[in-house]
């Protein structure tokens, strides 16, 4: 049986192909490791970048707002404060059936027509009721042991256990049997830790700044 000798050209070509293949494999291996190494460094850099520079956002407490958006609404009756001057104290007394009552809130009104009443803060409606003397009444529980009560409403658009946002319309101003001559109005009372505070001392302030009086 004759042995066939490979031609030199075939041997050289085969060797060249093997060498090229080995070089390609080595290059691919080196390139892949380098890329993985670079990717890892990039991730580390990005991680450090966010870790060093990202700051926690602290939400700023909202300011307590007025319980209406009507610019024509004004103070009709003040909160009774024994430290106030004589004229302010006189304007904070409610006369009902020959009985004089110290006002524990502020009566807002003025327009001849009814106006929308809004929640002064985010909160949860804890009570909705009708009162023969004060009309419809809504009470809302807020953070920091603060409650707001809206009295003398003619309409109510919320119900007990509703979660409301600041500025949510909760009803419309009406009249009461306490002050029939005031026209459409609202009596706003605010308590902190169960104690009445002057709403005018709370409006436009942060909830954390409100202290029991």
- Rounded Cα distance between 82 and 105, Å, is 14
CA 195 to chain centre: 24
Confidence (pLDDT) at 22:
67
How many CB atoms sit inside 10 A of residue 38's CB?
10
Confidence (pLDDT) at 26:
64
Confidence (pLDDT) at 98:
78
Confidence (pLDDT) at 19:
73
167: Cβ–Cβ under 8 A, 6 or more apart, which residues? Answer: 65, 69, 118, 119
Query: What is the residue whose two structure tokens read 């605010």?
Result: 190
Q: Which residues pair with 118 in a beta bridge?
A: 169
The helix or strand, by DSSP H or E, that contains position 44, with its residue range, turns out to be helix 8-53
> Would you say the C-alpha torsion 110, 111, 112, 114 has a positive or negative sign?
negative
Confidence (pLDDT) at 164:
98
- Rounded Cα distance between 99 and 36, Å, is 86
Confidence (pLDDT) at 94:
86
Confidence (pLDDT) at 1:
47
pLDDT in tens, 113-125: 999 999 999 999 9
pLDDT in tens, 189-211: 999 999 999 999 999 999 989 88
pLDDT (tens, 9 = 90+) of the chain, 213 residues, equals: 444 554 556 556 666 666 776 676 666 665 555 554 554 445 444 444 445 555 555 567 789 999 999 999 999 999 999 888 999 888 998 888 778 889 999 999 999 999 999 999 999 999 999 999 999 999 999 999 999 999 999 999 999 999 999 999 999 999 988 877 899 999 999 999 999 999 999 999 999 898 876
How many CB atoms sit inside 10 A of residue 158's CB?
18
- Rounded Cα distance between 81 and 101, Å, is 13
Q: Are 141 and 126 in contact (CB under 8 A)?
A: yes
């Amino acid at each position: 049986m004759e042995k066939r000798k490979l031609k030199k050209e075939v041997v050289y070509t085969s060797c060249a192909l093997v060498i090229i293949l080995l070089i390609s494999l080595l290059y691919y291996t080196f390139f892949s490791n380098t890329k993985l190494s670079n990717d890892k460094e990039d991730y580390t850099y990005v991680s450090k970048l966010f870790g060093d520079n990202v700051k926690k956002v602290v939400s700023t407490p909202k300011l307590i707002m007025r319980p209406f958006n009507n610019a024509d609404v004004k103070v009709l009756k003040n909160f009774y404060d024994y430290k106030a001057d004589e004229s302010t104290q006189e304007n904070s007394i409610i006369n009902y059936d020959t009985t004089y009552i110290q006002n524990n809130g502020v009566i807002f009104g003025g327009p001849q027509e009814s106006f929308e009443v809004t929640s002064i803060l985010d909160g949860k409606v804890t009570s909705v009721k009708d009162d023969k003397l004060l009309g419809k009444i809504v009470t809302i529980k807020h953070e920091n042991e603060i409650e707001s009560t809206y009295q003398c409403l003619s309409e109510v658009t919320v119900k007990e256990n509703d979660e409301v946002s600041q500025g949510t319309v909760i009803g419309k101003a009406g009249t009461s049997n306490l002050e029939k001559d005031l026209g459409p109005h609202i009596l706003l009372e605010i308590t902190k830790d169960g104690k009445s505070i002057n709403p005018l001392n709370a409006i436009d302030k942060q909830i954390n700044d409100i202290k029991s009086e």
